[in-house]
Amino acid sequence: MELKELLRFDDIVIQCHDNPDADALASGYALKWYFEQNGKKARFIYRGRNEIKKSNLLIMLKELEIPVEYEPDFSEEPDLLITVDCQFGQKNVTETKAKTVAIIDHHQKVPSSTELYWIRSDLGSCATICWDMIREEGLNPNDNRLLATALYYGLYTDTNRLSEVSHPLDRDMMDSLMINKIVITSMVNSNISLEELAITGKAIVNYEYHESNKYLVIQSEACDPCILGVISDFALETEDVDVCVAFYESPYEVKFSVRSCTKEVHADELAAFIAEGFGGGGGGHMLKAGGSMQPDYLTKSARETIEERLVYYYDKYIVIYAKNTKLDTSKMKAYVKLPQTLGYIKLTDVFPVGTKINIRTLEGDVDTIIDEGKYLMIGVEGEIYPIMEDKLLRSYEPTNFVFTRQFEYEPNIKNLSTGEVKHVLQFAKTVRTLGSATVFAKPLEQPVKLFTAWTEDKYYSGDIGDYLTVRGDDEHDIYIVKGRLFDKFYKAR
């Protein structure tokens, strides 16, 4: 769905969920602004039993001039109803009759009769969806600084103070918006009420510690999700605690926050693992993450479910440190690479030597400094990883045709000094695998966390059926190849 499809309607109502949060308010604000820029009138409402009372949201309404109306008894039947940050027919939004319904949301999709929807559950906020849709229509939300500030705060609150941001589109919005920092500070410093302070203290006292793997599980009363971040941040400062999971259970959802201070556990991976199969999702980055589960998917209490997932997670993996490991290649088969056409970029073609850059991809952000021998490789699935010139030339032959590929998100490179952004594909050329180097490989019989010789602070995960692989000419160059790709890359020697 594109926003311009909705311009054919004249009688438009935008409705966010009951008890709206900052993301819902920002998203509805953005849609109303879009329609007004296109000469359309639209009302922005919320319903339910409770009017907004939280101090940070009251500041948001006033200082950012959010044009939302509280309409608990709304009885009109508009031509078009857009539910934003929620999905029509769900428990958290009072049903409003309408001739046509559209949905814009970032939660997991539920069955619906409408064909007008845009749902991106991989994004951290609904504000990001609205920002991106408006940009696609040629408008710039920065033209309204109050709106830009609202969009930023929507992402800020829905990703636990930006700690759970994982998708590059969320980061793009965060970097591009021109915001009023004073208003943001005012809202941030009014986020916790005295009642929520009491909830925080009560939750922390009732922790459950698992000494064998040094993690805490803390259950809270239902609260603003940001409170879970406060709880887990505080708890992680405790001696002999490497990981903390704080959560609450409500009739509508189970929300949880994950914190890690050990390189052997990535918070974003653990959050996704906890949520998998329970109608929600998880994301963030290595140290801070969070997620949700839907109560209808649980067969046990949220506490029992989370506890079981944690036990399974810690028992699941073996850890390999490539720098200190020599694999027994006598028990592995020998292979050579099949010819493949891949992409590469010489970083000095993008920015000068010595430039500090940020490489933004779907897999995450990487900061580095450009030097003469540093390149980027683009894999068969669009994955991007750094490579030094000597290793590139040992394994690949530059063919230097223009490299083209479709990406879900086109990677870009940002000059951290000037802020200039350049897209990767405009510099990408082709290379072809030489196929001469021998590698040894075997399928994994147990999931692995692999710390490669060049990334000692970040591991790569391999599942059963993936291949543990090592170069024949470098016993510490150990890596993982996905099982579905191995036969495309290698043949037996």
Q: Are 14 and 90 in contact (CB under 8 A)?
A: no
Q: What is the mean pLDDT of residues 425-448?
A: 90
**Tokens standing for residue 120:** 């991106």
pLDDT of residue 330: 92
What is the rounded average pLDDT of the residues 113-120?
Answer: 87
Do 312 and 324 lie in one domain? The reply is no
Look at residue 191 and tell me whether its pLDDT is greater than 90.
no
Q: Tell me: do 309 and 321 sit in the same domain.
A: no
What is the share, in percent, of the chain residues with pLDDT greater than 70? 100
Please check whether residues 127 and 52 belong to one and the same domain: yes
Does the pLDDT value for residue 25 go beyond 90? yes
Given 434, 453, 484, which residue is the final one in a domain? 434
How high is the pLDDT of residue 303?
96
Using the Cα atoms of residue 259, residue 265, residue 267 and residue 270 in order, give the sign of their dihedral: negative
- At residue 270 the predicted structure's pLDDT band, cuts being 50, 70 and 90, is very high
Residues 325 and 354 in one domain: no
User: Do residues 307 and 410 share a domain?
Assistant: no
Mean pLDDT to the nearest integer, 121-150: 96
One domain for residues 396 and 288: no
151 and 292 housed in the same domain:
no
> What would the mean pLDDT of 441-457 be, rounded to a whole number?
89
Domain end (from 385, 408, 434):
434
430 and 408 both lie in a single domain: yes
Q: Is the domain of 210 the same as that of 229?
A: yes
Residues 66, 143, single domain; the answer is yes
Residue of higher predicted confidence among 205 and 191: 205
Q: What residues form DSSP beta bridges with 145?
A: none
CATH code assigned at 200? 3.10.310.40
Last residue of a domain, one of 408, 434, 460: 434
CATH number for 160:
3.90.1640.10
Indicate whether 486 pLDDT > 90: yes
Same domain, 407 and 457: no
Poorest-pLDDT segment among 96-100, 163-167, 301-305: 163-167
Stretch 12-27: mean pLDDT? 95
For the segment 327-338, the average pLDDT, to the nearest whole number, is 92
Band (pLDDT 50/70/90 cuts) for residue 457 is confident
User: Taken in order 443, 444, 449, 452, is the CA torsion positive or negative?
Assistant: negative
Top-confidence residue, 72 or 286: 72
162 band by pLDDT with thresholds 50, 70 and 90: confident
Distances in Å between the Cα of 38 and the Cα atoms of 10, 19, 127, 129, 238 are: 11, 29, 19, 19, 54
Question: CA 190 to CA 240: how far, in whole Å?
Answer: 32
* Structural domain count, the chain: 4
Q: Over the chain, what is the mean pLDDT?
A: 91
Task: Evaluate if residue 76 carries a pLDDT over 70.
Answer: yes
Reported as a pLDDT band with limits 50, 70 and 90, residue 435 is: low
Q: Which residues constitute the domain of residue 411?
A: 339-434
The 10s digit of each residue's pLDDT in 341-390 is: 899 999 999 999 999 999 998 877 888 899 999 999 998 777 788 888 99
53 and 147, same domain (yes or no): yes
Strands 356-361 and 412-415: antiparallel
